[in-house]
Amino acid sequence: MERSGSGFVLHVIYLCCYKYEHDDGRVSYPLCFIFSSPVGCRPEQQMMYAGSKNKLVQTVELTKVFEIRNTEDLTEEWLREKLGFFR
């Protein structure tokens, strides 16, 4: 987490390995990269973060990359919905 001078969190990065059970019974453990950049960040901060995020995604060769604005929305249901795209 990175904090600004005013003390609020600018960016949250979460890497997780989640047990995902497919509809056909298969089980996989996808590595997910979930990042959050709260509304209200200055455009310069957003651009700087986007560049470093993209470099990380390319370097680590991540394929399941998701963005979320409100970390309270980060639930198992939300993650399952996002992972459903990769069936």
CA angle, residues 33, 26, 77, in degrees to nearest 5: 45
Question: H/E element holding 36?
Answer: strand 31-36
Range 12-85: architecture per CATH: 3-Layer(aba) Sandwich (3.40)
Residue 4: predicted pLDDT: 47
Mean pLDDT of 11-33: 77
pTM: 0.62
pLDDT tens-place string over residues 72-87: 888 888 888 888 776 5
The residue extents of the domains of the chain are 12-85
Q: How far is CA 4 from CA 8, 24, 45, in A?
A: 6, 46, 10
pLDDT tens-place string over residues 38-71: 677 778 877 777 777 888 888 888 888 888 877 7
